[in-house]
Amino acid sequence: MADNFNFELVSPERLLLSEQVIDVVIPATEGEMTVMAHHAPTMTTIKPGVVKVHSASGKKQDYVVFGGFADILPTGCTLLAESAVPVEDMSRDELDRRINAAKTELEDAEHHEHKSRLEHFIMELSHLRGSIVQD
């Protein structure tokens, strides 16, 4: 049986989750990562995606995050999200609003690097919309 560890999901608005978990799958910028107890110390950035939490109680919870970073230690993981909501609270309208805001910002962007980051962000949000929002 796998060991448990403490996981915290924090957004600027509030602490969304703080509990003992078996594992957590996070959307790291370099690819999805599964974090378990005794993980090597790591700090990684987070891209828009779904955080999948498997609680020690057996409950599974999914959260949509819109960037941030994760601090992983052998004893726990803290994910500081730019914004996060339970997946069941995410609507197509909210994702469309975020995509349109990014497109508007892209129109006004002057630097190539900024434009490139915004184009990538829009692509990630569009993929996220297709994978979590059911019509």
Give per-residue pLDDT as tens, 45-72: 999 999 999 999 999 999 999 999 999 9
In the numeric block, which tokens belong to residue 16?
């969304």
- Look up the CATH superfamily of 5-87: F0F1 ATP synthase delta/epsilon subunit, N-terminal (2.60.15.10)
Supply the pLDDT for residue 68.
95
Domain ranges of the chain: 5-87, 91-133
* pLDDT tens, position by position, 1-57: 579 999 999 999 899 999 999 999 999 999 999 999 999 999 999 999 999 999 999
pLDDT at 135 over 50: no
pLDDT at 94 over 50: yes
Q: Which residues contact 12 (CB under 8 A, 6 or more apart)?
A: 82, 83
* DSSP character at residue 25: E
pLDDT at 122 over 80: yes
* DSSP character at residue 1: -
Q: What is the mean pLDDT of residues 119-124?
A: 88
Q: What is the mean pLDDT of residues 121-128?
A: 86
Neighbours of 134 (CB within 10 A): 4
